[in-house]
Amino acid sequence: MFVVPVIAKLASESLLSLYPIFVKKIGLSMTLQMWTRMLAYVLISSVFVDWGMVFGSLLSPEGIGLAIVNLSHVFFSYEGFRHLDSGVSFAIFNTYPLMILLLSGALWNKAYAFVLLALGFFIYDEMGGKTITTSNNPDFIYGLIMILLAALTEAFIYFLVKMVKTTNHWNHVFISYALGLVAMTAYMFKTENLATVFNNVRVAVATGLNGFIGSVGYFLRFYAAYRLDAGIYSVLSYFGIIMSYVYGMVLGGEKLSLWKVLGTVSIFISKALL
């Protein structure tokens, strides 16, 4: 039934677009935020994986590459979300399909011009009539660089996932996060007070929310992807950007401006032209 995968796709975008505001509001260090995400994804995916395939691929060059790029991706995306408005960060992050095309060797497309136009609108909005530099707006410059790197690493993940051959996407999730969890756990032991960590209600809440947002959100996304036409699936993806603005305004007190709207519409157009 057509309506069910549409609802699944909209629900998945609503969940996954919570990440920008979640990162800002949870009140944990970057180390603990990344660790709780790794822990939640590994625990949940471990229930559904094919262990023979996982053990054969985890330490392969492709598996290690996927884990390293994914760990970098989580860091870049969280830093971008922390330093930019929720809607802006999520909109810029959604330029990753164009980066996939560029990395695939695609020629220049007018869709790329709309991405540049969008970035111009976002930067102009942030400038507020003055020249923007690293000295007068370091958060925005840093956040912009981080979210663009997040989009780039998301594109790399697309290619690396295709190199890890399996039809069970939970295998991909586990392989992407398991080695990162080991690395983040070792780092956490060196940088965090463990007694404080394990008595911190926010850590439990972050782990639970990561598990819910990630497992349910990605399951619904995979469910919809297999049942919807690519064109419809792509259009429905815009709903996540809209919801990230809604969450930012309702939960974060962020303001919507004409330039943010124009920048977001430009990214919509760029995706429609792919």
- Note the pLDDT tens digit of each residue in 140-182: 889 999 999 999 998 898 889 888 888 788 888 899 999 999 9
Give me the pLDDT at residue 1, please: 59
Domain range holding 39? 3-272
Span 127-138, pLDDT tens digits? 765 555 555 567
pLDDT at 29 over 70: yes
Higher pLDDT, 214 or 178: 178
Confidence tier at 120 by pLDDT (50, 70, 90)? confident
| Percent of the chain at pLDDT exceeding 90 | 31
Span 217-274, pLDDT tens digits? 877 877 787 677 766 777 787 888 889 988 988 888 888 888 888 888 888 888 777 6
Q: Into how many domains does the chain fold?
A: 1
Among the ranges given (96-105, 184-193, 204-213), the one the predictor scored with the smallest mean pLDDT: 96-105
Give me the pLDDT at residue 73, please: 94
pLDDT at 60 over 90: yes
Confidence tier at 59 by pLDDT (50, 70, 90)? very high
Query: 53: Cβ–Cβ under 8 A, 6 or more apart, which residues?
Result: 166, 168, 171
Q: What is the reported pTM?
A: 0.85
